[in-house]
Amino acid sequence: MRTGVIVAAHPGVEHLAVRAEELGLHSFWVYDTPMVHGDPFVALSLCAKATRRIRLGIGVTSPALRSAPAAASGLASLNALAPGRIICGVGTGNTARRTLGMRPATAARLENFTTALQDLCAGRSTEYREGDRVRDIRFLHTGAHVNTADPIEFVVAALRGPKAAAVAGRRGTGLISFGLLDPTAWHALHDARRHAAQATPHGPGSHTDSRADSYVITSLHLLDEDEDPHGDPARDATGHLVMSLLAFAADTPAFAEQLGPEEGEAVRRLLDRRGTTSTAPDRHTKLYPNYLGRIAPQDRDLILPSLMNTLALVGTRDDLLTRITALEQAGIDELLIQPVIDPPTEMAQLAKLLT
């Protein structure tokens, strides 16, 4: 299985991209969460200039964040800096929108956005709509301005529902998911993608030059001998993923109701600790600061073993290889980790583990 890294976007992140390339990792990604992290196009521009081989990804942008012309211009400009090395993840903007206190985009809007990006980034014209006005648009200048000759890889963000996977199938793209380590769930996503592709006129992938790989974002903690798998080091290494789920649950009562009693209690403690409620209009300003950053020591009690085991890879070398092999057999092509404690060391661990 290939390996990669995903981190928060910020100036200076190019040094991590260089180290990832030196370690032989396949890809280096940054998040697109405007009110929490830095700008991904700025960060990846720096990475593009500092590296030569490693693929560079945005995980993920959304029609609820950026217009298709603006996003396509950013992507094609990156492609001019790093020809053929750019990966664009697209999604409904679930978290990035919730950090604004807004709702994600619909699957239909996601599909239209993906279509427009694929067309524009390949040098084709596309239909662009604002309200009742519809126009065909295309890049009017290429050459030194943008690169539409080298292909950009597109992947659609999906969790468990089939709608996003079906968009990937119809558009001939790959898939990316956050914290989804259940092989059965991945089989279902791949089935939904395949069925949608087969039902698409002219056959799967006919509208795009993209690849169709699958990526999973998680965190990894290799246990030392006799180390507690749920001790403080393991909680610190995986807590950002668990806190992201708890924040989503605190922000989404319908999802929180599906959790077990222990997880539901953790959500209630989080809300109390942040001084907000699941219906407060400004709850996004209390729940999402430091989103996907290293957790505070006082929040370690919220990092439940059940959620650590669901969202992250914690174990001995043999334990980790067993779980990774199961994911590979479920069709995962690349494992992306988000390091938060000591990124260079954690990246080296990943590279060594799968060498």
Tokens at residue 81, please? 């800096």
| pLDDT above 90 coverage of the chain, percent | 92
CA distance 176 to 90: 9
Residue 202 has pLDDT above 70, yes or no: no
Question: Measured between alpha carbons, how far is 51 from 44 in angstroms, rounded to an integer?
Answer: 10
Average pLDDT of every residue of the chain: 95
Q: pLDDT tier at 204 (50, 70, 90 boundaries)?
A: very low
- Indicate the length of the chain as a whole number: 355
| φ, ψ dihedrals at 178, nearest 5° | -105, 115
d(C-alpha 280, C-alpha 212), whole Å: 40
Which distant-in-sequence residues (6+ apart) come within 8 Å of 277 by Cβ? 271, 283
* Total-model pTM: 0.95
154 vs 167: CA distance, rounded Å: 12
Mean pLDDT of 213-239: 96
* 201 or 37, greater pLDDT: 37
Q: Which of 47-51, 140-144, 156-160 has the highest mean pLDDT?
A: 47-51
Q: What is the DSSP letter of 31?
A: -
For the ranges 203-212, 215-224, 242-251, 274-283, which has the lowest average pLDDT?
Answer: 203-212
Helical pair 68-81 and 40-50, crossing angle rounded to 10 deg? 10
Which position has the higher pLDDT, 325 or 95?
325
pLDDT of the residue at 95: 86
Q: What are phi and psi of 88, to 5 degrees?
A: -115, 115
| pLDDT band, residue 210 (cuts 50/70/90) | very low
At 209 the pLDDT is: 46
What Cα–Cα distance (Å) separates residue 244 from each residue in 51, 161, 183, 294? 30, 19, 21, 11
How does DSSP assign 145-201, residue by residue?
S---SS--EEEEE-SSSHHHHHHHHHHT-EEEEES---HHHHHHHHHHHHHHHHTST
Question: DSSP states of 253-303 as a string?
Answer: HHHHTTS-HHHHHHHHHHHHHHT--TT-TTHHHHH-TTTTSPPPGGGGGGS
Sign of the C-alpha dihedral, residues 10, 15, 18, 20? Answer: negative
Cβ pair 159, 177 in contact under 8 A: yes
- Kindly give the pairing relationship between strand 133-137 and strand 126-130: antiparallel
Q: Which residue has the higher pLDDT, 161 or 258?
A: 258
pLDDT band at 271 (very low <50, low <70, confident <90, very high): very high
Please say whether the beta carbons of 90 and 110 come within 8 A: yes
Encoded amino acid at 23, one letter: L
Helix (H, G, I), strand (E, B) or coil at 7: strand
**How far is Cα 78 from Cα 41, in angstroms, rounded to an integer?**
7
